[in-house]
Amino acid sequence: MVYCQGCPWRCAYCHNPHLLPAEAAGGIAWSEVLELLQRRRGLLDAVVFSGGEPTAQPGLAAAMRAAKALGYRIGLHSAGIYSRRFAEVLPLVDWVGFDAKAPFDASYERITGVRASGEAALASARALLASGVDCEFRTTWHAGFLSTAELERLARTLSELGVQRYVLQEFRDSGCLAFRPTQDAVEADLVALARHFPQFSLRPA
């Protein structure tokens, strides 16, 4: 797992706030990561780029190509923040975990604190589904920032877009400064959500 520094969104429930600034102390140069990957060839199967937001990195595609050249499969965890760069790296990845945060309207802006964030996420979601890359869509849910009605509306939209695999992630407060845990995911109508997708699961906190 390679955690990329930097994310322009400020989701209140983020449990990696130390990765939000574009620069931070203690970073590891990509050349050092490559050296590690070279030593671990035959022992590791894949490299997953996470964050922060990996598509914030101008060198993401080059890094993926370098890892692929060593024989690694490539995974990506992303919220689709930079839709153009997201689309550019899709031909390089074997799997994507896509964070769908809310219905793709003003609800998104309320979560991320950034205008038009829903538009960028929707464009990336459509590109991912059109690419045919193996993927999982998931939503971290806490009723303090997303109502049950909004969650149902998001599930319906994702289903209409063609999402096959959807995971509802229970909020966890590890590293999070804004919210405390609740039993919200347990109280959600999981049966109603599940009917929208061929594959649906609840991922405990």
Are 20 and 113 spatial neighbours (Cβ–Cβ below 8 Å)?
no
CATH of domain 2-203: 3.20.20.70
Are 96 and 135 spatial neighbours (Cβ–Cβ below 8 Å)?
yes
Are 96 and 78 spatial neighbours (Cβ–Cβ below 8 Å)?
yes
Radius of gyration of the chain (CA): 17
Q: Where are the domains of the chain?
A: 2-203
Collapsing DSSP to helix, strand or coil, 154 comes out as helix
- For the chain of 205 residues, list the mean pLDDT of each consecutive stretch of 10: 94 81 84 96 96 95 97 98 97 98 94 94 98 96 85 96 94 58 57 93 82
> What's at 146, amino acid-wise?
L
